[in-house]
C-alpha cells in the first residue's frame, strides 16, 4: 500500500516512524541553487515574495483543474471534439493558465483504455493535474507500464475485459497527456460540477476509473 512517509529512517520510542532532521551538509547542487537565488535577489532580478508566490502558484494546481476539463468534455460534445483535436487550445478556452503545455487528450471508450507513463523521467501535465504522485516517478511504474500494462492496471484495481484494447502513451518528448475517462453509467442529467467530483487524478492518468455516483 502507498505510504505517507516512505523515507523515514527509524521508529521513535513511542512507536511512530520518523525522518531524522536534515542536519547533513548541502549538496553541490543545493549550494548552487542557494547561491543563484541569493544573487538574483541581491541584484534585484527577483524578490523572496515573488519566489514564494510562484511556489504557491505551483502548489495550487490540483487535479481539480483536469477534472473540470473532463466534466466539460462529458457534457459538451463540441468541446470534446476540440479537446481531442488540440488539447492545449481547448484548455486555454477554459481560462486555465497552462503556460507552454502541449496537451494531447486521449479518450477511453468501451473498446479502448489509455494509460500514460513517462519512461525516461517524469513528464506529467502539471499545469492541469498538479504535482505527479510519487509512484508515477518510480522506476517500477515507468518500466512496467510499458511492459505489462494490464498487470499494473490490475494492481490499481482496474480489471479490463480481454477485448478492450490497451493503448499506452509514453511521454517521451514535448507533449503531455490527459486521459478522458469514460463517463460512468448513472450520471445522466448530472451537471458538470457534480460530474467533476467523480473524476479522480488516477482516472486522468489511466490507472483508475472515475467514481460512480
Residues in contact with other proteins by the rule CB under 8 A: 102, 104, 119-120, 146-151, 162, 165-175
Q: Is residue 91 among the annotated active site residues? A: no
Q: Which is nearer to other proteins, 146 or 182 (CB)?
A: 146
Q: How far is the CB of 204 from other proteins (least distance, A)?
A: 17
Q: Which residue intervals of the chain are DSSP H helices? A: 28-42, 48-60, 63-75, 77-85, 87-93, 126-129, 139-147, 149-155, 192-196, 201-205
Catalytic residue among 88, 91, 123, 171: 123
Q: How far is the CB of 189 from other proteins (least distance, A)?
A: 35
Gap between the Cα atoms of 185 and 200, Å rounded:
16
Q: How far is the CB of 150 from other proteins (least distance, A)?
A: 5
Catalytic residue among 91, 118, 171, 203: 118
What is the crossing angle of helices 77-85 and 63-75, to 10°? 120
Q: Which is nearer to other proteins, 84 or 197 (CB)?
A: 84
Q: Which is nearer to other proteins, 53 or 166 (CB)?
A: 166
Q: How far is the CB of 119 from other proteins (least distance, A)?
A: 6
Gap between the Cα atoms of 89 and 70, Å rounded:
15
Q: Which is nearer to other proteins, 87 or 181 (CB)?
A: 87
Catalytic residue among 14, 88, 91, 121: 121
- H or E element that contains 177: strand 175-180
CA 159 vs CA 70, 107, 162, 178: distances in Å: 22, 18, 9, 20
Q: Which is nearer to other proteins, 37 or 165 (CB)?
A: 165
Q: How far is the CB of 172 from other proteins (least distance, A)?
A: 5
Gap between the Cα atoms of 19 and 35, Å rounded:
27
Q: Give the DSSP letter string of 141-160.
A: HHHHHHH-HHHHHHHTT-PP
Q: Is residue 118 among the annotated active site residues? A: yes
Catalytic residue among 12, 14, 88, 122: 122
Tell me 102's DSSP state. Answer: E
Q: Is residue 121 among the annotated active site residues? A: yes
**Would you please indicate which residues are annotated as catalytic (active-site) residues?**
118, 121-123
Amino acid at each position: 500500500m502507498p505510504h505517507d512517509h516512505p523515507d523515514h529512517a527509524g521508529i521513535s520510542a513511542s512507536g511512530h516512524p520518523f525522518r531524522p532532521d536534515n542536519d547533513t551538509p548541502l549538496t553541490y547542487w543545493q549550494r548552487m541553487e542557494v547561491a543563484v537565488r541569493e544573487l538574483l535577489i541581491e541584484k534585484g532580478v527577483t524578490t523572496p515574495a515573488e519566489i514564494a508566490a510562484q511556489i504557491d502558484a505551483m502548489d495550487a494546481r490540483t487535479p481539480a483543474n483536469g477534472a473540470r476539463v473532463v466534466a466539460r468534455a462529458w457534457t459538451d460534445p463540441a468541446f470534446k471534439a476540440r479537446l481531442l483535436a488540440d488539447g492545449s487550445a481547448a484548455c486555454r478556452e477554459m481560462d486555465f493558465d497552462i503556460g507552454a503545455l502541449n496537451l494531447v487528450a486521449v479518450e477511453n471508450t468501451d473498446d479502448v483504455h489509455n494509460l500514460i507513463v513517462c519512461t525516461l523521467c517524469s513528464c506529467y501535465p502539471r499545469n492541469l493535474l498538479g504535482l505527479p504522485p510519487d509512484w508515477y516517478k518510480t522506476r517500477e511504474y515507468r518500466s512496467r507500464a510499458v511492459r505489462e500494462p494490464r498487470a499494473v492496471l490490475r494492481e490499481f484495481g482496474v480489471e479490463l475485459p480481454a477485448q478492450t484494447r490497451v493503448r499506452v502513451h509514453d511521454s517521451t518528448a514535448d507533449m503531455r497527456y490527459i486521459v478522458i475517462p469514460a463517463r460512468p453509467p448513472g450520471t445522466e442529467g448530472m451537471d458538470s460540477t457534480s460530474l467533476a467530483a467523480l473524476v479522480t487524478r488516477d482516472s486522468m492518468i489511466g490507472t483508475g476509473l472515475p467514481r460512480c455516483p
